[in-house]
Amino acid sequence: MRYLSPLLAAALTILVGYALFSALGRDPLAALHAFFVRPVSTANGVAELLLKASPLMMIATGLALGFRANVWNIGAEGQLILGAICGGGVALHLEGAASGWGLALMVVAGALGGMAWAAIPAFLRTRFNASEILTSLMLTYVAALLLSYLVHGPWRDPQGFNFPQSRMFDDALLFPLLVEGTRLNASFLLALAVVAAGWVFVHKSFLGYQMRVAGLADAAARYAGFSATRTVWIGMLAGGGAAGLAGLAEVAGPIGQLTPSISPGYGFAAIIVAFVGRLNPVGCALASLLMSLLYLGGEQAQMELRLPAAITGLFQGMLLFFLLGADVLINFRVRALRRAGPAAASAGQAA
């Protein structure tokens, strides 16, 4: 049931999508085809799918580490922006002097930027007991304003006709393309590496084990002497570092410069990916494909069905709702009670 429930949730989401398209006066089957099949029916479409899945799988893998240990970092969007700012800042300063080291330096700067932004809630939680949920989310707004300040002010391209954006980065500082003619670039390999590293950490390392214990049984972890402070720090930094990498991969990939808006909510969508992927790195990688398809479907729906692209967010939210609802089947067994009355067919307890 643990692995069936995401499938059930996806099926329910598609079912409601069917009803929604009918209600909007579109041919539901054609609309669903346009939303879920058309985007990936070409090689270019598949490349786009993998391109959009890359940041999602990175961030979700990082966040899942924390979520498993009850560390609720929901500010990945802000950490992504900081990764883009730090990595992009390096790119702007390397202008002209680009060498093979440039991109590597940007990757490191991006990850460190995301980690630094995540370190603030980690510090406030461990030192001052402040809820990381609220502080990490507040910092997302601050990060977006900081980026807006930079591209409107000091980092604005002097030859950019006053558009709020930085110079384009040197070609040598962008991720090389994996498949010529598409936008899929080497950051996809980076994402796979993050997923692999996450899997090793969760399943093969003692620290990962300690964090799982902390999430399942807080008291047992304390009794065993596992440091709660370290759990918070690792949980936050993993999410922040991964989000920072994802942000850098966006600006050093398909975007190629700093603009006021560099992510269509990847940091929040990754929260859903983490849950749909069962907080498991491999699951996150698979779930990121589904979530990426929702992004592509939203774009397709806008072009073909003249529906707002915001429909993506609607589907994303529904997916998580249905998943959480379907998870009741993991912890409880539905059974019909013999006793007549209003309690009949209610969820009886099991497991």
Partner 1 sequence: MTDALVPILAATLAAGTPLVFAALGELVVEKSGVLNLGVEGMMLCGALAGFAATVASGSAAVGALAGLAAGAAAALVFALLTLTLQANQVAAGLALSIFGVGLSAFAGKPFESVALPAPQPFALPALADLPLVGPVLFAQPPLVYLSWALFGLVSWFLYRTRPGLVLRAVGESPAVAHAIGYPVIGIRYLATLFGGAMAGVGGAYLSVSYTPMWAENMTAGRGWIALALVVFATWRPGRVLAGAYLFGGVTIAQFFAQGAGAAVASQLLSSLPYLATIGVLVLISRNPNVIRLNAPVSLGQSYHPDA
Residue 265: what residue type?
A: G
Cα(66)–Cα(2) distance, rounded to whole angstroms? 20
CB half-sphere exposure, 72, CA atoms < 13 A = 8
Residue choice 268, 273, 276, 288 for contact with partner 1 (CB under 8 A):
268
By CB under 8 A, is residue 321 in contact with partner 1?
A: yes
Q: Which region among 41-49, 107-115, 137-145, 155-163 touches partner 1 (by CB under 8 A)? A: 137-145
The pair of three-digit structure tokens given for residue 183, joined into one six-digit string: 């936008």
By CB under 8 A, is residue 325 in contact with partner 1?
A: yes
The pair of three-digit structure tokens given for residue 205, joined into one six-digit string: 């390392």
Residue choice 14, 134, 228, 289 for contact with partner 1 (CB under 8 A):
134
Cα(325)–Cα(313) distance, rounded to whole angstroms? 18
Q: What minimum distance in Å lies between the beta carbon of 80 and partner 1?
A: 16
Count residues near partner 1 (CB under 8 A): 47
Q: What minimum distance in Å lies between the beta carbon of 101 and partner 1?
A: 32
* Angle (CA) 78 81 86, round 5°: 125
Q: Are 267 and 140 in contact (CB under 8 A)?
A: yes
Q: Residue ranges of the alpha helices (H) in 129-227? A: 132-152, 187-204, 206-216, 218-223
Residue choice 79, 126, 135, 288 for contact with partner 1 (CB under 8 A):
135
The pair of three-digit structure tokens given for residue 331, joined into one six-digit string: 């912890």
Cα(251)–Cα(258) distance, rounded to whole angstroms? 6
By CB under 8 A, is residue 188 in contact with partner 1?
A: no
By CB under 8 A, is residue 320 in contact with partner 1?
A: yes
Cα(106)–Cα(103) distance, rounded to whole angstroms? 5
Question: Among residues 5 and 187, whose Cβ is nearest to partner 1?
Answer: 5
Residue choice 10, 45, 152, 168 for contact with partner 1 (CB under 8 A):
152
Residue choice 101, 141, 163, 223 for contact with partner 1 (CB under 8 A):
141
Cα(320)–Cα(113) distance, rounded to whole angstroms? 29
Q: What minimum distance in Å lies between the beta carbon of 77 and partner 1?
A: 11
Q: Which region among 31-39, 84-92, 214-222, 305-313 touches partner 1 (by CB under 8 A)? A: 305-313
Site for partner 1 in 64-93 (CB under 8 A): 72, 74
Torsion of CA 217, 221, 222, 224, to 10 degrees: 140
Residue choice 95, 99, 101, 149 for contact with partner 1 (CB under 8 A):
149
Rg, the chain, Cα only: 22
Q: Which region among 49-57, 205-213, 224-232, 320-328 touches partner 1 (by CB under 8 A)? A: 320-328
Q: Which region among 53-61, 210-218, 242-250, 317-325 touches partner 1 (by CB under 8 A)? A: 317-325
Q: Are 77 and 160 in contact (CB under 8 A)?
A: no
Tell me which residues touch partner 1 (CB under 8 A).
72, 74, 124, 127-131, 133-135, 137-139, 141-142, 145-146, 148-149, 152-153, 268, 271-272, 275, 307-308, 310-318, 320-321, 324-325, 327-328, 331-332, 347, 349
